[in-house]
Amino acid sequence: MDIKELITKSAKEQREALIKKEVSAVELTEAVYEKIEETDSEIGAYNSLTKEFAIETAKKVDEKIRNSEDISPLSGIALALKDNINLKSYPTTASSKILENFISPYDATVTQKLKNNLIPIIGKANLDEFAMGSSNENSAFKIVRNPWNLNKVPGGSSGGSAAAVASGEATIALGSDTGGSIRLPASYCGLVGLKPTYGRVSRYGLIAFASSLDQIGPITRTVEDAAMLLNVISGPDEKDSTSLSQTPPDFTKDLKNDLKGVKIGYIKELCTEGLSPEVDKAVQKAISTYKSMGAEIVEISLPLIKYSIAVYYVIATAEASSNLARFDGVKYGYRTKNPENLYDMYVKTRAEGFGEEVKRRIMLGTYALSSGYYDAYYKKAQQLRRLIKQDFDKAFKLADVIISPTCPHTAFDIGSKVEDPLSMYLTDIATITANLAGIPAMNIPVGLDNSGMPIGLQLQADCLNECKLLNAAYKLEEALQFDYTKPSKTLVK
Ligand code: GLN
């Protein structure tokens, strides 16, 4: 197979070519950089490239193959790393002016694991500033365009990670998901995106947005690739006190299990109201496909879902206001020029360094945490969060895996929601509950709408049940045969 075509295929297929010595890891990596050269000026997926490091890594893989040593399943496979995850000695900007010149002094735990597995990191992927957004239009540097249609957003906040994988500028990627930032871009870009159970993957070295919600996870072309990448990044970590002590299973082990008797629940509140007709049709098709595989379909109700956006935007902004207090011009990052005094330095540094959306959230969160309002907003939100989790606990007594659309509609036009933060926040209606409840959730592509944009289905399972989730996703993917290679072959303007 021609190498240009090979880099548009799954990690698994590329690995087979590596093992058979049809291609070298250096050749694969170089082909990916050629693709970036050709297309990234239009897509904007990367904030910076880490070519020297990637080629070095690929050389080590080739040496191992030459010496007939075993290589781990994703060795030599090009990866885009979201630019809020530290890679030692390279920039980590969170797409913010305040960190524009920041060089990571250490590796995130996930980055260390990528290095141990000899996975070439191609570059740092663009995102909404500090991962706040749903369209990647909040990056301080440049927007990202959707490889399926350059006039559409790729989804956010991991828009760069998703656009890189969809366009052939990387084969796999890591994103972070606080309220849907892996699943939404995966949905808009026709990819698989998985937010693991809270604590499954270490957050050490991830720039914190809302610490009780943040999780790192894979964005890939296939379910199996996502399972392989989760194998690499998951596991307990003494550097993150919220990481779970459970040893993770092999996430690829149950992929092919039969679905006979498995209970698939669809969420009444998300599968009936406010959906675009094409998304609705795709969800119905997924349901009938599961039925034909012998799964049992049950209706699930999550009545508190209607409060989830409000709950999320109180909790996430409260945590963000606290986490972002460290960016004050003193220790690292941007500092204003010629301040009059210390107070002036703090104020001007933050006023000049943060973008609009980040400032909006710091103000919202500070308000919600202030004395006098704490009980009315923050405490109430935490109480509702608990009740939402209890709704899920009940639902998982009835179903093994719960499905819904990932978003009520497909990717929207660039610029169409920037003036209206509330309508932007509503795109997360289906995704944020999984973060509030800490459960694993993923997106898989299930079809295209009339304008040729991908439609995503969300699957959710109970805590630590990623294997069930991946099994249900794998079987549907196998039945539907979605063509993820389209945008990397023909970028539509
Ligand atoms: N779109 C949501 C927000 O802006 C989720 C972001 C995320 O998951 N990082 O907060």
Annotated catalytic residue 124: no
Which ligand 1 atom minimizes the distance to the CA of 361?
A: 10
Which tens digits make up the pLDDT trace of 87-97?
999 999 999 99
Which ligand 1 atom minimizes the distance to the CA of 427?
A: 1
Of 157, 158, 161, 176, which one is the catalytic site residue? 157
Q: Is the pLDDT of residue 12 over 90?
A: yes
Check if the beta carbon of residue 135 is closer than 8 Å to that of residue 155.
yes
How much of the chain exceeds pLDDT 90, in percent? 93
Count CA atoms within 13 Å of residue 435 on its CB side: 31
Q: Model confidence at 229, in pLDDT bands (50, 70, 90)?
A: very high
What is the pLDDT at residue 490? 74
What is the pLDDT at residue 358? 98
What is the pLDDT at residue 110? 98
Q: Is the pLDDT of residue 371 over 90?
A: no
Residue with CA at minimum distance from ligand 1 atom 5 = 179
Burial 379-413 (b: 16+ CB within 10 A, else e): ebbeebbeebbebbeebbeebbbbbbbbbbbbbbe
Distance 92 CA to ligand 1 centre (A): 19
Distance 299 CA to ligand 1 centre (A): 28
Annotated catalytic residue 486: no
Q: Could you tell me which of 138, 155, 154 has the C-alpha nearest to residue 427?
A: 155
Which ligand 1 atom minimizes the distance to the CA of 158?
A: 9
Q: Model confidence at 492, in pLDDT bands (50, 70, 90)?
A: low
| CATH class of the domain at 3-257+416-489 | alpha beta
Asked which of 13-17, 230-234, 273-277, 432-436 is least confident by mean pLDDT, the reply is 273-277
Residue with CA at minimum distance from ligand 1 atom 4 = 133
Annotated catalytic residue 370: no
Distance 337 CA to ligand 1 centre (A): 31
Q: Which residues contact 215 (CB under 8 A, 6 or more apart)?
A: 176, 177, 178, 195, 196, 197, 198, 200, 201, 203, 435
Ligand 1 pocket check: which of 176, 187, 432 to mutate, most ligand atoms within 8 Å of Cβ?
Answer: 432
Of 135, 139, 167, 181, which one is the catalytic site residue? 181
Write the secondary structure of 197-217 as one string of H (helix), E (strand) and C (coil): CCCCECCCCECCCCCCCCEEE
Report, as an integer, the average pLDDT of 122-147.
98
Domain segments of the chain: what residues? 3-257+416-489
Distance 241 CA to ligand 1 centre (A): 23
Helix axes 308-323 and 380-398, enclosed angle (nearest 10) = 130
What is the pLDDT at residue 256? 98
Ordered DSSP codes for 37-59: HHHHHHH--EEEE-HHHHHHHHH
Distance 312 CA to ligand 1 centre (A): 9
In this structure, the residues whose C-beta lies within 6 A of any atom of ligand 1 are 131-134, 157, 177-181, 209, 316, 428
Which ligand 1 atom minimizes the distance to the CA of 156?
A: 1
Here the tokens at position 440 are: 């694993």
Report, as an integer, the average pLDDT of 273-289.
92
